[in-house]
Chains A and B, each alone.
Chain A
Amino acid sequence: MDLSPLWISLATSVTATAITFVFGLAAAVWRERYTGPAMALVDGIFLLPLVLPPTVVGFLLLLLFGRHGPLGKLLLQFGATIVFSWPATVIAAAVVAFPLMYLTSRAALEQVEPALLQAARTLGASEWRVFREIALPLAWPGVLAGTILSFARALGEFGATLMIAGNIPGKTETIPIAIYFAVEADETQRALSWCAVDVVISLALLSGLYYWTRTQGLGRARRMAR
């Protein structure tokens, strides 16, 4: 059996999660401070990929990155085409996972008591140090949950990926897409195998998260009770 969908799926999800982690967290930090008039609009735009059907997201991305799209044209000047290539799977996965990272880490950051950040500022800390040493560690469980959710969402991404990256075996064929086309071609056995792989990965991820938070929580409680 050709294992390439597994490697493509893992590579895509890891890369997309890394990108989403940075942008989602940055957006959450920025949005926490931004109190301008366009708040509702900004929120709406950030959450759009969560509420729109993946096919709509995929089609919009296709318009954006296609030969005649604004970003597509720009990239073409550097000789790069995104559509129907591996980076397209990453873009699709990152975009649909973004709202989960943004929402979860924003909620976690909002839980951090503002006086702690203010205290750090009066003690001479730069905004970066306030974030790095106070806000992020205290919001960490939530930020981590957001990262895991994003990874899971990226791993399961199907609709937008199919629209913008297509199904090119060995290149853009991820596990969900492989399953779809296996069923389409009446290869039940192949479809079932990939389903099993997906279930194993998801279970491993969730139970790993469970044990990790448990030991973290315990270690932390033990340390702080000293």
Chain B
Amino acid sequence: MALDVQIEKELPDFQLNVSFCASEAPLSILGASGAGKTMLLQCIAGLQRHGRGRVALNGRILFDSEQGIRLLARQRRIGMVFQNYALFPHHTVAENIAFGLNGLSREERAARLSALIARTHLEGLTERYPQVLSGGEQQRTALARALAIDPEALLLDEPLSALDTHLRSQVEAQLQEAFAAYRRPTLLVTHNIEEAYRLGEQLLVLSRGRVAAFGPKEEVFRRPPTREVAQLTGCKNFSRARMNADGSVEALDWNCRLRAEQTISKPPAFLGIRAHHIHFVESMPEGASSENVLPCWLVRASETPFRITLYLSLRPPLAETSAYDLQAEVFKEKWQRFRDLPHPWHVRLSPDSLFLMPE
């Protein structure tokens, strides 16, 4: 089971130039809006014309510009869940799901339909129209409809973006369940970092039409290959970096010398650390190693219900300035413990949390 994709296509602002191979493991495609995510899915599904390249699904060629092969969307057997679900408003839930079951005998059609309805827990809603369904029910209908054609691959375009926050985790769990049962190439496009991480096993980061990173999600998050990928995966802290002769790294923007565990083949141009990896040292035991420990001053703080984001300066801050060097995120319980300590505070940038990037 594999979906092989190589697509080149001119877009108004940039060129979409993507190649990757997806197996049964769900693949999250993460990118900012306008990075070409939806266009990529539409090219794979055969909903966009033109372009060069090759798309093959389980060895079946769907598109090959050199051989002049271009299967129509209806011939590709690729299930697609659209961004706002695109349910047919004049059809009931059952009619929506059965749309792709055309051409089967009446009995088989009924059997397949009830299997799909059971699989997506839509019993009791089959005679309703899409407009009266909740977001989660619409999403399940769209999924059932896409699965009706027994697709060889499943593409989902921002499947959770149309939902209210409180529905998301529930629908996310349903999607995970559906992916686990499906086990065929599954591509999911999103601009939400957490969604991408939770729903995918593999992660592809798309930036202005190019693949900026591709691999197992843990790898991409732990060691982003470039600064751009680090930013797109939510990293907040960067400094220009230079390798010292003794193997330590000079953090030029932070004006300090740090040790990093990671080694990279090219000389590092940047180093970075995620906001929640910054560790606050509440008391410095006498004689403890001061490696990677930096004094810092609080510039401002921003609260969410359970966490707090602290903006820190590595020099005594000047009055009337909000310039900061580091952005740290901690649970409020922890913050309560050190919020009243005198400045400077101390943070430790653990060597195994620091990552180096050649560009």
Contact = CB atoms under 8 A, between A and B. Distances in A.
* Binding partners A and B: yes
Interface of A: 113, 115-116, 118-126, 129, 133-134, 137-138, 223-226
Contact of B83 (A115, A138, A224): A115
Contacts of B146: 122-123
Given A118-B47, A124-B149, 20 more contacts: A116-B88, A116-B89, A118-B45, A119-B145, A120-B99, A121-B46, A121-B72, A121-B73, A122-B79, A122-B80, A123-B149, A124-B75, A124-B77, A124-B100, A223-B129, A224-B89, A224-B129, A224-B132, A226-B128, A226-B129
Interface of B: 42, 45-47, 72-80, 82-84, 86, 88-90, 99-100, 102-103, 127-129, 131-132, 145-146, 148-149
B47 A124 contact: no
B99 A122 contact: no
B102 A125 contact: yes
A225 B129 CA distance: 7
Nearest to B130: A224
Contacts of A129: 102
22 contacts: A113-B86, A118-B42, A118-B45, A118-B73, A118-B80, A118-B86, A119-B80, A119-B82, A119-B88, A119-B145, A121-B47, A121-B73, A122-B45, A122-B80, A122-B146, A123-B74, A123-B146, A123-B149, A124-B102, A133-B99, A225-B131, A226-B127
B100 A115 contact: no
A223 B42 CA distance: 33
A124 B150 CA distance: 11
Interface residue SS majority, chain A: helix
Contact of A115 (B86, B103, B127, B129): B86
Q: Which 10 A-B pairs have the closest CB atoms?
A: A123-B100, A115-B86, A224-B129, A121-B73, A119-B86, A122-B80, A124-B74, A115-B82, A118-B47, A122-B73
A225 B74 contact: no
B80 A137 contact: no
A134 B103 CA distance: 17
Contacts of B88: 116, 119-120, 134
Contact of A226 (B45, B84, B89, B132): B132
A71 B278 CA distance: 84
Contacts of B72: 121
Contacts of B128: 226
Given A120-B99, A121-B47, A226-B129, A126 B74 contact: yes
Contacts of A224: 89, 129, 131-132
